Amino acid sequence: MTHLTYIMAAYGIAVVVAGGFAVDAWARMGRARRRLAAIDPRGRR
Amino acid sequence: MNENVLNAGRTGSAGAWLHRFANPGRFLRLVRPALPWLAVFSVVITATGLVWGFGFAPADWQQGDASRIMYVHVPSAWVAMAGYAALAGCSFFSIVWRHPLADLAAEEIGPVGAGFTFVCLVTGSLWGKPMWGAYWVWDARLTSVLVLFFLYLGHIALVRAFDSPERGARAGAILALVGVVNLPVIKFSVDWWNTLHQTATITLTGSPTMYVGMLWPLLFSALGMSFGFAAIVVARTRAGVMERRIRGLLMARAQQEAGGRLDMAA
């Protein structure tokens, strides 16, 4: 395969950026849910 | 008379319909079951498109294997532009109907949209180097996408630059609406000016001028990344709603405690 370095770098950047946002969003959601449950334990969200 | 009826009187029928979905509790209830499915669907579809494009789609007869960068570059460009359109839509709802969830969604779209625009710019550079001999040229398409990236960064900075979140959201909304003018410039830059960047291969009005074996993985990648973008934004907005509720509860508790201390002192 020609230009493999450029292709791998492009795919890598896309996966890292999108994956990073996804992991951050899920972690932030989990933190917020736990904190809210500790402050206001009226039910699941 | 319930609150929705009062809102209908104040904001008109469109406003009332929108305000039904402005209730953060209703938003949390709606997205909680849908979000895992949206996430799984986007991961599966994106992975299918990328693996198909990387390993099984044919190479371009002129560009060779470098054309495989298309399967990450083009979807990220589409998502970056669609994300900005969504940001502008939320800003419009925010300015016209003072929709609180629209403010929050706009705040959360900004960083994700900037991320996808960054991916579009970097993957474009990585495609440009072997094909044009340069990572960057001041071509109309590249420059207008760079302006889109700066608009996203400006929006991120502006909504966080005020002590009052409402003022920040309003300033950010105005910037987002002004920046919409850049979207047609990006789209038509390759037609209006003589550019190194190629013209559109896929249009809404005509049939695509691309081999079908390359078109399908591209459409899978684009669909998957669009759903991925939506899933990330919805997850961030959900977290944002809960964080606002936490701040509100903590402030109410602090005010109660301060009131109690004042009563004791009196």
Rounded Cα gap, residues B23 and B100, in angstroms = 8
- At residue A44, the pLDDT reads 52
Residue B238: both structure tokens together: 């959900």
- For an interface test with B, the pick among A1, A5, A7 (most B C-beta atoms closer than 10 Å) comes out as A7
Rounded Cα gap, residues B97 and B178, in angstroms = 18
Is the pLDDT reported for residue B15 higher than 80?
no
Rounded Cα gap, residues B116 and B121, in angstroms = 9
Rounded Cα gap, residues B61 and B59, in angstroms = 6
**What residues contact residue B2 under an 8 Å CB cut-off, 6+ apart?**
none
Report the percentage of chain A scoring pLDDT > 90.
71
Residue B207: both structure tokens together: 């049939």
| CB atoms near residue B89 (< 10 Å) | 17
Residues B71-122: tens digit of each pLDDT: 999 999 999 999 999 999 999 999 998 888 899 999 999 999 999 999 999 9
Asked whether the beta carbons of B42 and B227 are under 8 A apart, the reply is yes
Residues of chain A with Cβ-Cβ distance to B130 below 8 Å are 3, 6
Report the percentage of chain B scoring pLDDT > 70.
91
- At residue B5, the pLDDT reads 42
Whether this model's ipTM surpasses 0.95 comes out as no
DSSP per-residue codes, B239-263: HHHHHHHHHHHHHHHHHHHHHHHHH
Is the pLDDT reported for residue B17 higher than 70?
no
Mean pLDDT of chain B: 88
Asked whether the beta carbons of B183 and B190 are under 8 A apart, the reply is no
- For an interface test with B, the pick among A11, A35, A36 (most B C-beta atoms closer than 10 Å) comes out as A11
Rounded Cα gap, residues B220 and B236, in angstroms = 24
Rounded Cα gap, residues B192 and B177, in angstroms = 23
- Domain segments of chain B as ranges: 26-199+212-265
- Structure confidence at residue B263 as a pLDDT band (50, 70, 90): confident
- Structure confidence at residue A43 as a pLDDT band (50, 70, 90): low
**What residues contact residue B23 under an 8 Å CB cut-off, 6+ apart?**
none
- Domain segments of chain A as ranges: 1-38
**B263 or B185, greater pLDDT:** B185
Query: Closest to A25 (Cβ–Cβ): which among B225, B236, B245?
Result: B236
| CB atoms near residue B223 (< 10 Å) | 17
**What residues contact residue B207 under an 8 Å CB cut-off, 6+ apart?**
none
- Spell B235-252 as b/e; 16+ CB within 10 A means b: bbbbbbbbbebbeeeeee
Cβ pair B246:A28 closer than 8 A: no
Residues A7-36: tens digit of each pLDDT: 999 999 999 999 999 999 999 999 999 998
